[in-house]
Amino acid sequence: MYLGIDLGTSEVKALVIDEHGETVATHSAPLTIQRPHPHWSEQAPQEWWEATNYLIGALREKCTEHWGAIKAIGLSGQMHGAVLLDGQDAVIRPAILWNDTRCHEECAELEAAAPDLHDIAGNLAMPGFTAPKLIWVRKHEPENFARIQTVLLPKDYLRLKMTGRKVSDMSDSAGTLWLDVAKRDWSDALLDTCQLTRAQMPELVEGCDVSASLSAEMAHKWGLSPSVIVAGGGGDNAVSAIGVGAVNPGDAFISLGTSGVLFVVNEQYRPAPQSAVHAFCHVLPQRWHQMSVMLSAASCLQWFCRIVGATEVELLADIEQLSEEEKAKAPLFLPYLSGERTPHNDPQAMGMFHSMSHSTHRALLGYAVIEGVSFGIADGLRVLQDSGTQIDQCSLVGGGARSPFWAQLLADTLGLPIVTHKGGETGGALGAARLACLASGKSVAEVCKKPDIHRIYQPCADRKPVLSERYARFRALYQNDLALRS
């Protein structure tokens, strides 16, 4: 059997699959985010490790006598987070997460200091990436910066605790702005710009290769063989791609989780930083991918549900009762609750409801929220297409994949078939378990099959005129807000 561990922002999820790729058991544990100041987002790495140990215990009970059959472990993780370790591998400060936007000034400094950044790293300097975070720490916490012996990404901290080895993979490391994405190796020049060296970086392996074996101590504690290997793993979206079988050029999926991602596989390195499109390594050798990323997606719906005191199921049931005429006159919503990446690269962008009246009620606002998130995904599709990338259909994964209404709205908004899969909500953990299979010697063709299709949502031509008009107003609303802030 094979174990996949997915370290997300709001939870850690673990999944066990058998030799045939069938899911044997899953379990998850919630995580909390600390926001001690505006624009800050932090987590304690120790909380990740405690949650992981809890999951191992829970899965061990569920798998009973089969637990010892686990042969390999794969890892998936939230990207960009800065885990800073001292000479004794102790955590220096809380990890600064991907949705932390405190370092927007440092992004400008990095762009100025590294004029070849876009060519080497394939991406704009954005507050979410790791490199600007380290410049911020150097400027504002010099005593902490002086203690840094190692910088790890979140999932790689779990690997260190599991194996004693400091290793990362190409896909996750591409999100640091220190990787030469075409060469799939650390860039000494970009590291030097941040006053760091290769010695402070982990070793690099491909996501589907062996990175290390469980330490004897952890193997004993977890009741596993010390021969259990740990795959390189990857950033959450690249690993989710493995979970939905997105391994060939043109394969694409949308992830509606805390953030929103439109992911497409490329056969070569294709940067398009001018549109804030991300170009990263895939978890498979000689594969890359592009992503458009919005910082708040399903989290917008969760935010609104908290405000109005409704569950997502209750709110979606109300929304589904709206007539086409009501939806056409609903307020507009800008989903920028944490700033925005693609295509705006604007950490100061704010969320907004526009065009409300006394007759506006909860369901209309709820519809506006999921439509606004869908329009944000459409922004990403537009700039990917402008970069020359062709997408014919998209799989849908993440928490938002559980809503048929939202899936149909995405099909109508994007003008693309949207495919949901059985078990699609476990994409990251399933992908991690599949990477464990690959590291054990199985082939990509054997392991990375697309999960069974649950349903295909075809775009409805009748809705296109109304949605096109509302999308144009959505885009103008952001531009008007930007002009007022300028």
Shortest CA distance to 234 belongs to which of 300, 291, 189?
Answer: 291
CA geometry: angle at 379 spanning 430 and 258, to 5°?
Answer: 40
- Section 61-66 average pLDDT: 90
H/E element holding 73?
strand 72-77
H/E element holding 474?
helix 464-485
Residue pair 71/1 in contact (Cβ under 8 Å)? The answer is yes
The whole-model pTM stands at 0.89
Q: Judge whether residue 443 has pLDDT over 90.
A: yes
Residues 6+ apart with CB under 8 A from 437: 2, 17, 21, 72, 74, 447
| Conformation bin of residue 242: beta by default, left when phi > 0, alpha when psi is -120 to 50 | alpha
- 2-238 CATH pick, 3.30.56.10, 3.30.750.80, 3.20.20.70, 3.30.420.40: 3.30.420.40
Residue-wise pLDDT tens digits, 380-404: 999 999 988 999 999 998 777 789 9
Binding residues for substrate: 79-80
Q: Judge whether residue 425 has pLDDT over 60.
A: no
Choice among 100, 172, 180, 236 that is catalytic? 236
Please count the CA atoms within 13 angstroms of the CA of 297 that sit on its side-chain side: 28
Residue-wise pLDDT tens digits, 153-198: 999 999 999 999 999 999 999 999 999 999 999 999 999 999 999 9
Q: How far apart are CA 384 and CA 85, in angstroms?
A: 37
| Conformation bin of residue 345: beta by default, left when phi > 0, alpha when psi is -120 to 50 | left
Residue pair 428/236 in contact (Cβ under 8 Å)? The answer is yes
Looking at the chain, the whole-number percentage of residues with pLDDT higher than 70 is 99
Binding residues: 79-80
Mark out the alpha helices in 64-209 (DSSP H runs): 104-113, 117-121, 130-140, 142-147, 154-163, 170-173, 188-193
Q: Judge whether residue 423 has pLDDT over 70.
A: no
Confidence of residue 424 (pLDDT cuts 50, 70, 90): low
Q: Judge whether residue 426 has pLDDT over 80.
A: no
Do the bridges between strand 229-231 and strand 42-43 make them parallel or antiparallel, or are there none, so unpaired? unpaired
Q: Judge whether residue 37 has pLDDT over 70.
A: yes
169 annotated active-site:
no
Both structure tokens of 125: 């300097």
Distances (CA, A) of 85 to 41, 90, 95, 133, 299: 19, 5, 10, 14, 30
- Section 307-313 average pLDDT: 96
Shortest CA distance to 238 belongs to which of 399, 100, 76, 378?
Answer: 76
Considering only residues 188 and 255, tell me which one the structure prediction assigns the higher pLDDT. Answer: 188
The maximal CA–CA distance of the chain, rounded, in angstroms, is 66
